[in-house]
Structure 1
């Protein structure tokens, strides 16, 4: 039988336990009071500063990249405000929707007037999915991973961002400001414009060439942030405004370039060419009004970032267009006059090298002007007897052959013109008729423009002006023009080129306007590495009596037509007609000074 415990002993035991618990609670209270005293009185200032510091963060203010505009002010490339939507997975997994009621209206969560129906990341995803146009399960998966940062969607418009703000998801979902580069002209000058990388830096074309001008300077603002990353009013301690990038206006006339590209595409199809390209240049100023090709590349695309515009990179032998430069050099050096007479067979053997004309013919009585009009290789070799290799090289160089255009375009090919001392026994004569050296379409256009500009070679330009963030407008500096030919020599060469253009007036003439031009056809290496491909080109000045524009058209391997005057010439005609109408150029006066081409 268990002994009975006395009542006083039980009471004393219970009291002892209560006393122990009381002592423990008292000690805890003392400790809490001590910690409170420490926080409030001893470390209050440092603790408050630490809390403030944890909320005070520098926030970048992104600068806007400048616009690229055409000569008419039409925006070709611009950066627009966009956002990346960011989720906090850790916070989202603890999300509890607030039921909408009279007391919580405006700060609650529902979908189409109904409760969300779940909690955590799934609830955040259900609220967000309709606004982002995404699958709720996909969003839920992104918000169910460890961590505090998950990109939910990029390139969101400001309107969508505002709708997300209205979801009352601050602290769970927020937006980071970014930008998107938009291009308005599709494939028109697509590769020429190039593109930007993921950081908004220009990596190709004009975007790369003008990156320093277009790129702004980011600013920042330091302030205390609330739980959702929002700025707490009145807490800004430091700030520096962003400076937007400058705007770049081109000399390119978007209307002209659009039409040029259209005509090139139709010409490529009509003549079954591999490709075609063209340049339109203002004779007097050197400004490029259009430069395009038949490649269908969207500005800003991966192809635009990887490929240099064909009109910039493609080089070729100019063929018989080069005869105009040789004739001009002969006249300038004093070796010949346009009226000098020659008896020209269809082939000639010179120092063991045989040269042929394009067609078989008997002995022809042609003046030097006639040799250019008939595009005779043999006649050029004969006329070159008093025009030595050093002079030939000198004048080609003065015309800009084998030299960079000076436009600064990334990836531009300079062509080639080797030193005359390295010319072999054939090359020193083939250069007289546009073979043995190569050019790009920009060089060729400026060389022809030099003849139309009274013998003065202008620096070509594609940048019309630059306007900074404050609205200050400036024009890029240009080197001084260079005189290549005496004015009288340029006029005589222009006259001879007008006779040459008359030879193809049926195909390349523009009603009401005189044209000075030269066609060319040259063999170039094909895919097999042999001279199995053809370049057909045409470069002309319109109007010839008051030069305003040079139009150069180049085609690769046209299988219909062949000769430059029969393929590139008709494309020139259509572009010329458009220019005369667009710019309302007065019609030409009748020609009265034609130089005799036969004797």
Structure 2
């Protein structure tokens, strides 16, 4: 230090100059450090720094694919996805928000301002954003303010708002603080049309149940995305879009269901089940020519998309029951097809008949009757069926039932669908081998019952049923999904004979189940089933038929449990008539010609 002071004295450097030199040295040192940092940033780490800056500004935004629609065959939209938005807040930006008062120079320069009912917002930060946003979202400003107060970059303020609400939010000039993220919401036809059959979607947008689930592959699309750089307020920086993949929407699926027919069937079924105090009701309308299902309803009131729809499958496909005397149709077919008897063979039919130690009787007492085989079907005689089938083997009985679709899946692959129950002949005891002749000892669902009758309408051919008509992709390409497979079950002549006998079967119920101006071939059924008490204390009353009988167009099947009146012909038959009349009017079916070919039912 002495030498340094001597050096300053020799060179004439005073204290002020010393301080200047010290400051200069410090500044030189700082400048050197800054220069070194600049060299590092620009030359050594320049690329990494630029990439980090670009990465911080880069956003990859998902472009949601639109889920395909489910349509009725007449074009009615049964299920569709509509445009909705999730409203997103950026708390970090909200906490630093300062509203721009109207009338200020800043407002004039920016050409927008913030106010509530023409008055200043009266707050800053998250509270100000909440005051502006709450009326538009219909939410409490205090709750919104709490959600927006923080340092997060993303918080969902409200889900599934309409485009109108999103546009109103855009007009609040809160860019970079609040924005709408495109979403969608699944909506369904009203009036509980096909509720549990359509099913519903989970909150996360995945399929939950019903046709939404089984058709998910066709209905689902593939999301796209866009990659761009954003400005401070979240806006796209022009010219920075670097990558884009368009969303691929799901395909539309058209059902064979006619919504007009289904709506009317639902109405008739619901009112009929209620007025007769039935536990439940089911109805099916099938196109006799194509196997297309035009209506498939039950009396339950479940709205598609609801929690109940997602938790329950349609009763129309899950409920099984013994068909009762409608089961005499395949029984009669087995007798005729195997040459055991002819349709006009004569029988003396007692009220009660014993076979292999098992006694069977008819529903109503009668003295011995002189009936043909057609008359046995017309009068729905259990004793007559057992008597006529004495020479029919168990295997022949079983094979005919399976050919009619009993115990066989319909092929519709509907969620929750039951195939019913038909045990093998080796499991039959001495009673079951005969009860299967008149619809007891096995179970069916309503679709199987409709298919059973359709074999007769189709001149002995078992035509596979269809519920999916077509699939249309986003490019408009239509692919038919109708099931055209068919198998011959009976000789055409035998099918016509059974249809003739079924037409005679209407006579007992003509005043209740007949359709004026049209010939109808029908069969009723009444079966004891297990009730809630675990005993045979409940009744299933069903009625199925072909209309018009002379030129089959439709198969109508109605089933109810425990209706007032019990018997299928007088309960479900009444609903059959209402549905049949509607079909004839809607499709403008010409009146039937007079019947001239009735097979004798007595001798």
Residue 246 of structure 1 corresponds to: 251
Residue 8 of structure 1 corresponds to: none
Residue 328 of structure 2 corresponds to: 323
Which deviates more, 321-330 or 245-254? 321-330
Residue 449 of structure 2, aligned match among 426, 444, 456: 444
Residue 168 of structure 2 corresponds to: 163
SS at match of 1:191: helix
Please report how far the alpha carbon of residue 577 of structure 1 lies from its aligned counterpart in structure 2 after TM superposition.
Answer: 0.4
Please report how far the alpha carbon of residue 422 of structure 1 lies from its aligned counterpart in structure 2 after TM superposition.
Answer: 0.7
Q: Is the 8 A contact 2:323 2:525 kept in 1?
A: yes
Paired with 2:271 and 2:296, the residues of 1 have a C-alpha distance of 16
1:79-94 equivalent positions in 2, closer than 5 A: 79-94=81-96
Q: Is the 8 A contact 1:69 1:75 kept in 2?
A: yes
Paired with 2:374 and 2:200, the residues of 1 have a C-alpha distance of 47
Q: Is the 8 A contact 2:262 2:296 kept in 1?
A: yes
Please report how far the alpha carbon of residue 186 of structure 1 lies from its aligned counterpart in structure 2 after TM superposition.
Answer: 3.2
Paired with 1:48 and 1:146, the residues of 2 have a C-alpha distance of 25
Name structure 1 gaps, 5 residues minimum: 1-10
Paired with 1:359 and 1:478, the residues of 2 have a C-alpha distance of 42
Paired with 2:175 and 2:35, the residues of 1 have a C-alpha distance of 35
Residue 594 of structure 1, aligned match among 591, 598, 603: 598
Residue 78 of structure 1, aligned match among 77, 80, 100: 80
Residue 569 of structure 1, aligned match among 556, 567, 573: 573
The C-alpha deviation readout for 1:556-588, integer Å capped at 9, x for no partner, is 111x21100010000000000000000000000
Paired with 1:328 and 1:503, the residues of 2 have a C-alpha distance of 22
The C-alpha deviation readout for 1:234-270, integer Å capped at 9, x for no partner, is 1111111111000001110000000000000111122
Please report how far the alpha carbon of residue 172 of structure 1 lies from its aligned counterpart in structure 2 after TM superposition.
Answer: 1.6
1:246-395 equivalent positions in 2, closer than 5 A: 246-395=251-400
Q: Is the 8 A contact 1:170 1:227 kept in 2?
A: no
Q: Is the 8 A contact 2:100 2:113 kept in 1?
A: yes
SS at match of 2:174: coil
Residue 46 of structure 1 corresponds to: 48
Deviation beyond 6 Å, 4+ runs, structure 1: 11-15
Q: Is the 8 A contact 1:98 1:108 kept in 2?
A: yes
Please report how far the alpha carbon of residue 173 of structure 1 lies from its aligned counterpart in structure 2 after TM superposition.
Answer: 1.5
Q: CA RMSD in A?
A: 1.8
Which deviates more, 213-222 or 582-591? 213-222
Q: Is the 8 A contact 2:86 2:182 kept in 1?
A: yes
Paired with 1:315 and 1:20, the residues of 2 have a C-alpha distance of 101
SS at match of 1:386: coil
Please report how far the alpha carbon of residue 351 of structure 1 lies from its aligned counterpart in structure 2 after TM superposition.
Answer: 2.2
Q: Is the 8 A contact 1:94 1:120 kept in 2?
A: yes
Paired with 1:505 and 1:425, the residues of 2 have a C-alpha distance of 36
Residue 107 of structure 2 corresponds to: 104
Paired with 2:143 and 2:556, the residues of 1 have a C-alpha distance of 55
Paired with 1:20 and 1:92, the residues of 2 have a C-alpha distance of 47
Q: Is the 8 A contact 1:186 1:299 kept in 2?
A: no
Paired with 1:25 and 1:127, the residues of 2 have a C-alpha distance of 50
Paired with 1:229 and 1:406, the residues of 2 have a C-alpha distance of 53
Which deviates more, 172-181 or 509-518? 172-181
The C-alpha deviation readout for 1:8-32, integer Å capped at 9, x for no partner, is xxx9767766654554344334323
Q: Is the 8 A contact 2:101 2:113 kept in 1?
A: yes
Q: Is the 8 A contact 1:174 1:229 kept in 2?
A: no
Say yes or no: does 1:202 pair with 2:207.
Answer: yes
Superposition TM-score, scaled by structure 2 size: 0.95
Q: Is the 8 A contact 2:176 2:235 kept in 1?
A: no
Please report how far the alpha carbon of residue 93 of structure 1 lies from its aligned counterpart in structure 2 after TM superposition.
Answer: 1.7
SS at match of 1:529: coil
Q: Is the 8 A contact 1:174 1:228 kept in 2?
A: no
Superposition TM-score, scaled by structure 1 size: 0.95
1:430-469 equivalent positions in 2, closer than 5 A: 430-469=435-474
Please report how far the alpha carbon of residue 231 of structure 1 lies from its aligned counterpart in structure 2 after TM superposition.
Answer: 2.1
Please report how far the alpha carbon of residue 521 of structure 1 lies from its aligned counterpart in structure 2 after TM superposition.
Answer: 0.2
Residue 182 of structure 2, aligned match among 177, 182, 206: 177
